[in-house]
Amino acid sequence: MSVQLKCDAVNCVYNRSHLCSAEEIEVQGGETTGGDATFCGTFSSKSLGNFVSSLGNMNYSGSLKQAVSAEPIMDPKVHCNAVNCTYNDQRYCHADQVEIRNEVSHTAEETECQTFYPKMS
Domain that holds residue 66: 4-113
98 within some domain: yes
Does residue 95 contact residue 85 with C-beta atoms inside 8 Å?
no
121 within some domain: no
118 within some domain: no
Kindly report, residue by residue over 17-42, the tens digit of the pLDDT. 898 999 999 999 999 998 899 999 99
Residue 68, CA distances (Å) to 20, 29, 55 in order: 16, 35, 21
11 within some domain: yes
Those residues with Cβ within 8 angstroms of residue 78's Cβ, 6 or more apart along the chain or in another chain: 2, 3, 5, 24, 25, 27, 92, 93, 98
In this prediction, residues 94-110 reach a mean pLDDT of 94
Closest CA to 98 of 85, 108, 109: 85
119 within some domain: no
The tally of domains found in the chain comes to 1
120 within some domain: no
In this prediction, residues 4-25 reach a mean pLDDT of 92
pTM (two decimals): 0.86
CA distance 74 to 109: 23
37 within some domain: yes
Kindly report, residue by residue over 63-87, the tens digit of the pLDDT. 777 777 777 776 789 999 999 999 9
Total length of the chain: 121
Count CA atoms within 13 Å of residue 32 on its CB side: 19
| pLDDT attached to residue 121 | 67
